Amino acid sequence: MKIIFSGLLISSLLMAGCKKAGDDGSITTKCLESKIEVFRNNSCDTGANVSEYTFQGKMVFVFDPGTCGADMTSEVMDSDCNTLGFLGGLTGNTKINGKEFSTAIFVKTIWVRS
């Protein structure tokens, strides 16, 4: 049974395009899905999450590592997994591409550590 399931899973992954639409119409790229999976396995036990925002006219994703350490940064990347910058950290950075990230519009939470 596991072999059949594995074969179906691999086949469906191979037939999928670079981008796929979610149930809510959002688009997730394969690289973003991979990045989230790695993040899940390496993030804090408390408060870690990945959220989607609209910022500077495009969809961006914030990888917030949670509360397991001081002065940690949240990576901001686009849907093609290009890192745009980091928020927080020792300096308390609030800007991405020279613009205040507070102007970003929250869309939804993609994943949260439960």
Q: Where are the alpha helices (DSSP H) in 1-114?
A: 2-15, 30-42
81: left (phi over 0), alpha (psi -120 to 50) or beta: left
Could you give the dihedral angle defined by the CA atoms of residues 26, 5, 37 and 22, in that order, rounded to the nearest 10 degrees?
A: 0
Percent of all residues in the chain with a pLDDT value above 70, rounded to a whole number: 75
For the chain, which residues make up each domain, given as ranges?
18-112
Could you give the dihedral angle defined by the CA atoms of residues 23, 60, 109 and 101, in that order, rounded to the nearest 10 degrees?
A: -150
From residue 11, give the alpha-carbon distance in Å to each of 3, 4, 5: 12, 11, 10
Q: Which position has the token pair 């179906």?
A: 8
> pTM for the complete prediction?
0.75
pLDDT tens-place string over residues 50-93: 999 999 999 999 999 988 888 899 999 999 999 999 999 999 99
